[in-house]
Structure 1
C-alpha cells in the first residue's frame, strides 16, 4: 500500500470586508473498495475546501473589538491568535463549532497572526494589524507592588487622561483576595483634578489578607479625549498588623490600638478651632511616612505663618494635614488645640508613633474642634461614606 504526503494549499481573498482563507487539503489515500480519506471520497468527488473568515483585516484595522473567526463548513477544532509580542488572545469556540471569538479586544497598534484548524485537520492562517492610537492613557497605582500596608488602605488608580467610558474600564479591573473580601470600586476626581477610581472593602481589611489587582486594560478605550490603554497592569500587596490610631480632638489625646487593645496613649495638640487652622475630622488613612520635611504655610493658604523643618511627618491628607513632632507647641499638648491644622506631639512620642504605624493605617479623628469632615478625594476619604454610598460610586451599579 502506498501513501502520499499531505499537502496544504492556502488561498486568501477579500470578501465583504473580511479575510477569507481557503485550505485545499489532500490527506493519505488508501486502497480497498469504499474507503477514502482526504481529497477524494468513495464516489471520486473532491473533498470540500476549508473556508475561514476573520472580521479584522489589513494593516489599519479598527482596534477595540474582539477577534472573530468563522468557519464556512464543518467545525473548528482550534484557533490561536498571537500578537506581535508573542502573547495570545484567549477565546472560545461557539456551541455549534462554526465560530471562535476572543475574550479580549484587539489592542491598538498591534500586529496579530490568526491560525485556525478544523475538525478534519484543515488549517488556515491570516495576519492583520490594528491602527496606532492617537492618544495613549496611562495610570498610577497605589499601593506599590509587594508592599505591606494597614487595614484601611484602598486600591487607588489615578489616570493620566479623562476616563469617559468608566464602565468599560471598571470591567477590566479584577481584584482577587486570599479570603474572599467583599469590596467595591468607586469613582471620583482626584485632588490633582484627574479621574481616579478606588477599591475599598466593605469593612477594614483582615490582617494577613493577600490582595492582587489584575488590570486587563490593553485594548480598552477610555472614551473621548482619554485615549487607549496599550498595556495591562498588576500590583499585589499584603495587609499588615491590625492597628488603628484614634485621635480625640476635644480630649487632646492620640491612642494607638493594636488588635483592639490600647498600646500607647499620648497627649497632642491639634489645629486651632474656629477657622482654617482647625483640623479635619473623620476616618482618614495614613498616606505616607515622610520623615523630616520643610513645612511652609503659604503652600496651604495660610500666608507666612510658619516655615519649619518638621520631624517624623506622617501625611494624612493632600491638603497638608499631618501628624508630626511639634516640640514648639509642647505646653498645649494634652490641654488645647493650638496648631495650624496638624496633630502635634513631643519629639519622643512622635518618633514612637512614626516607628509603629504603617502606611494604610486608619486615623479615626473625632471631636467638635474641627472645620468639617475630610473630603472624599483629599487623600483617602472613602471610609467616611456608608457602604451603600460607596457602592453607588461604582460605574457598574
Structure 2
C-alpha cells in the first residue's frame, strides 16, 4: 500500500457510498490553455466508478476486502476499522483493483478511502455482522519473560479449532538467530485445543523470540467461533540449564552450560504402580512455592494431605519436584514417594532458587510407569523431530527471521 501523499486537485469531490454503490471520483479536465495543458492535467473522461465487495450493516466477515475501479488506475486504498487498526493490502498489477491481505473481522465497522492515479478520492463504509461465538486464546510464555531452553511457545484456545491450517498460517514466529521449529497440535490436558511451537533442539541461550498471531477475522470453524483480535508475545531464552534426574541412582543433578553445578540425593515415585514417577523429558512449568497437595486430586485416594515447600510443577498430572523431609530415610537410597521427586528442605530450596521456568528435567531410569505424554505439561520433547512435525496442520518446519538451524542443546 503506498503511503505517498500528493496534492489533490482543489475541485475534486468525495462521494460517500453505502454498499457496493459506486464511488464517484471527479477527474477535472483543462478549462483553458489548449492541448498541452490538457495533456499535463490528464485525459478528459467520465467520472470512473469504484466498488467495494462488502457493504451494508451486516456484511459477511471472514473474507478479504476488495476495491475495484471501472476505468483508470488505483493509486492507494486505505481500509480502517473502528478499533483503530487497518487492513494492509496491495493494488493489482494492472491497477484496476486492491485486495486486503487479511479478512474483515466480525462485528467491526470499516471505512474505505480510495485514491486514483490523479489524486482524486472517494470513501465508503460497511459493518460486518456480529459473531454468534468468539474464540479467545492464552499464550505461554508471558510477554517480556525470560525462560529456559526447553520452553515451547504454547497457545491454548477457549473453543475448538476445526480450521487448524487457517489458524496456524496466521501464527508467525520470528527469532533473532533463524531458529528452525514447527507447530504441533495437541489436545491440552484441560481438554482444549492447543498448538505449540518448539525448535528441533533446545533453544540457543540468548535467543529472542516473537509471536504475532494475526487472527482478527479468522473463523476457527464449527463450534469454535471467530477471532476478533490479534495477539502477540515476546520472550528471551535464558542460560542453558538442564536438570537430570536418575530414578535408579536416586540422584538429581543441575548442569549449567554443560558443567555440573549441584548434585543432591532424592527419592522419586514408588515403582510398580500408580505412585511411580514418569520418565522422559519434562519442562519446569511453574515455581509454586508452598502449596497444599492432596492425594485425591491425582487419583490416589486419601494417601496424603500436606503443605509442601519449594514446589516445582513438572506435569499437569501432578508430578512435582519439591521438599519432602518426611522421606529423608530414602534420599539417595530408594524411590518411596507418591510420584514426585522429593528432596531435603535445604536441597529443594537451593534447586528452587536456581532453576528457571522452561528448564528441562530429563528423567531416566527403570523405576517409572511410562514416558510423559506430549500434552502432559510440555512433554513434546519425547517425540522425535520427524514425529513432531507431523502434528503441524501445514506439515512444514519454519525458521525464524532467516533460514538456519537451531543451535540449542541436543537432548
Alpha carbons 1:288, 1:314 under 8 Å: kept: yes
CA drift of 1:11 comes to: 7.2
Query: What is residue 55 of structure 1 aligned with on the other side?
Result: 53
- Aligned-partner Cα distance in 1 for 2:29–2:293: 80
How many angstroms apart in 1 are the aligned matches of 2:89 and 2:173?
21
3-state secondary structure, aligned to 2:27 = strand
Higher strand proportion (structure 1 or 2): 1
Contact 2:16 2:124 in 1 (8 A): no
**Cα distance in structure 1, aligned partners of 2:41 and 2:236:** 61
Question: How far is 1:74 from its partner?
Answer: 1.1
Match of 2:66 among 55, 68, 71: 68
Q: Tell me the equivalent position of 2:336.
A: 338
Shift in CA distance, 13/82, structure 1 to aligned 2, threshold 3 Å: closer
Deviation sequence 1:324-343 (CA, Å, 0-9, x none)? 00111011010100000000
Which 5+ residue runs of structure 2 have no aligned equivalent? 1-8, 396-411
What's the counterpart of residue 190 of structure 2? Answer: 192
Please give the TM-score of this superposition, normalised by the length of structure 2: 0.91
Residues 34-113 of structure 1 correspond to what in structure 2 (within 5 A)?
35-36=37-38, 47-113=45-111
Task: Report how far residue 241 of structure 1 moved.
Answer: 1.2
Contact 2:14/2:121 (CA < 8 Å) preserved in 1?
A: no
Partner of 1:24: 26
Query: Aligned partners of 1:121, 1:243: CA distance in 2, in Å?
Result: 60
In structure 1, distance between residues paired with 2:306 and 2:299: 15
Task: Say if 1:30 and 1:219 are closer, same or farther in 2 by CA, change over 3 A.
Answer: same
Q: Post-superposition shift, 1:86?
A: 2.6
CA distance in 2, matches of 1:5, 1:164: 52
Distance in 2 (alpha carbons) for counterparts of 1:122 and 1:165 = 41
For residue 11 of structure 2, what is the aligned residue in structure 1?
6
The number of residues matched between the two structures is 387
Q: Post-superposition shift, 1:25?
A: 3.1
Distance 1:327 1:226 in 2: 47
Bigger RCO (CA 8 Å, 6+ sep)? 2
Which ranges of 4 or more aligned residues in structure 1 deviate by more than 4 Å? Answer: 11-14, 37-41
What is the alpha-carbon distance in structure 2 between the residues aligned to residue 371 and residue 187 of structure 1?
25
Shift of 1:7: 3.7
Tell me if the contact between 1:275 and 1:371 (Cα under 8 Å) persists in the aligned partners: yes
Question: C-alpha displacement at 1:35, in angstroms?
Answer: 3.8
Selected match of 1:124 from 104, 116, 122: 122
Q: 1:327 to 1:97 in 2, by over 3 A?
A: same
Contact 2:72 2:117 (8 Å CA) reproduced: yes
1:6 & 1:241 partners in 2: Cα distance? Answer: 64
Matches within 5 A, 1:322-361: 322-361=320-359
Bigger radius of gyration, 1 or 2? 1
What is the rounded CA distance, in whole Å, between the counterparts of 2:26 and 2:164 in structure 1?
Answer: 47
Please give the alpha-carbon distance, in whole angstroms, between the structure 1 residues aligned to 2:103 and 2:371.
42
Q: 2:216 aligns with which of 208, 215, 218?
A: 218
Conserved in 2, the CA contact under 8 Å of 1:79 and 1:116? yes
Does structure 2 conserve the Cα–Cα contact (< 8 Å) formed by 1:270 and 1:279? yes
Q: Residues of 1 paired with 2:353 and 2:95: CA distance?
A: 62
Shift of the 33–393 alpha-carbon distance from structure 1 to 2, 3 Å rule, reads closer
Call closer, same or farther: CA 1:348–1:12 in 2, change over 3 Å: closer
Cα displacement (A) at 1:37: 6.0
Aligned-pair Cα RMSD in Å: 1.7
Note if contact 1:25-1:39 (Cα within 8 Å) is conserved in structure 2: no
Give the Å deviation of 1:6: 1.5
Match of residue 175 from structure 1: 173
Partner of 2:139: 141
Equivalence for 2:293: 295
Q: Secondary structure at the match of 1:375?
A: coil
Deviation at 1:5, TM superposition (A): 4.8
- 2:237 aligns with 239
**Partner Cα separation in structure 2 for residue 13 and residue 191 of structure 1:** 48
Q: 1:278–1:369: 8 Å Cα contact kept in structure 2?
A: yes
1:267 matched to which residue of 2? 265
